[in-house]
Amino acid sequence: MVQSKKQKYLFLAFCLIPTFILFAIFTLYPLFSGLYYSFFDWSGSSQNKDFVGLANYIKLVKDAIIPNTIIHDYFLVATKVIGIMVMALFFAVALTQLKIKEAPFYRIVFFFPNIMSVVVIGILWTFIYNPNLGLVNSGLEFIGLESLAKPWLGDEDWALPSLVLPSVWAGIGLFMLLLMGGISNVSKSYYEAAELDGASEWQQFWKVTLPLIWPQVKISILYIVITTLNGSFIIVQVMTGGGPNNATHVMGSYLYQQAFVQYNFGYGATIGVMILIISLLTVLILQFIMRRDKVEY
């Protein structure tokens, strides 16, 4: 291109600098000053901002609710990974391997909840779990199991497990499509060879499909883990607000409560640092566990 160096740099500055300034102000600066705030006792007004060193971190370690929030988060991670992956894999194999005429219909329907607002999903499911009017209790009554009916979201033992179903419901479609993309790239000749060797469809799944779509499986699991650790608190906030009696608080909803309801902004930031560390560590460890040489036949 015929242009002077100065012109090139001017154009480059035009392209990059305004965007980066806004990104720095609204993304980078808040993240780093979040780290900084975690060393202060701060209720929001500028007068009462005291440097307290590691006091917030000591409080964090001693806070009896914190271990529960971490356990709740990992409970959601584990149940969502299992629930979503098992069903998404099953649907993905069913829709690609078996020639089903109406497959596009299922694809379109299953994906739709992925673009619904968490608020809509949360409220819809709150009503499905409604003790008097909800579908779950009416259904149990209908099949004669009214003894199992309970106020699902108001029950300390059942509230957290009840949050899994809406999350799985809302998540399956995306991962099904991701896995379908992987399966459709597997060459037909592998299956023909497997069939000649007399492998059953079940063996074909374990020996051919799964190893060859391992990259997609890995990405799906990582994505579910990241989005759950970084965002599970949204559905918690909409459906239970962390209750009953803190039984459904996850790390993020506890941060929201500490910072924006009780105005402990310094402590809230400390919880935020914990979320950041836990989420990054989990991803690193998972990547290490799931590393597996690429399979090529």
Partner 1 sequence: MKRSVGQILGRTGIRIPLILWSLAVLYPIFWMFLGAFKSNAEIYRNPWGFPESFSFDNFVTAWTNYNIDVSVFNSLIVTVVGAVLTLVLAIPTAYAIERINFRGSKILFTVYVSAMMIPMVLGWIPLFFLLSDLGLLDNIYGLAIVYAVSQLPFSIFVLTSFIGTIPRSLEESAAMDGMSPYKVLWKIITPLSMSGIITVTIMNAIQFWNEYFMALIFLNSSENYTLALAIDFISSEAQYTNAWGTLFAGLVIAIVPVIILYAIFQRRISKGMTEGAIKG
Which of 160/182 has CB closer to partner 1? 182
Task: Count Cα atoms within 13 angstroms, Cβ side, for 130.
Answer: 9
In the bound complex, what is the minimum distance in angstroms from residue 158's beta carbon to partner 1? 19
Which of 38/247 has CB closer to partner 1? 38
Which of 207/218 has CB closer to partner 1? 218
In the bound complex, what is the minimum distance in angstroms from residue 210's beta carbon to partner 1? 18
Which residue type does 197 have?
A: D
In the bound complex, what is the minimum distance in angstroms from residue 246's beta carbon to partner 1? 18
Which of 53/181 has CB closer to partner 1? 181
Q: What is the C-alpha separation between 132 and 66, in angstroms, rounded?
A: 33
In the bound complex, what is the minimum distance in angstroms from residue 258's beta carbon to partner 1? 10
Which of 120/145 has CB closer to partner 1? 120
Question: Angle 214-239/265-290 helices, nearest 10 degrees?
Answer: 160
All residues at 6 or more sequence positions from 130 whose CB lies less than 8 Å from its CB, including other chains: 137
Helix (H, G, I), strand (E, B) or coil at 103: helix
Please check whether residue 172 is in contact with residue 107, taking contact to mean a CB–CB distance below 8 angstroms: no
Q: What is the C-alpha separation between 189 and 195, in angstroms, rounded?
A: 10
Q: What is the C-alpha separation between 83 and 79, in angstroms, rounded?
A: 6
In the bound complex, what is the minimum distance in angstroms from residue 19's beta carbon to partner 1? 4
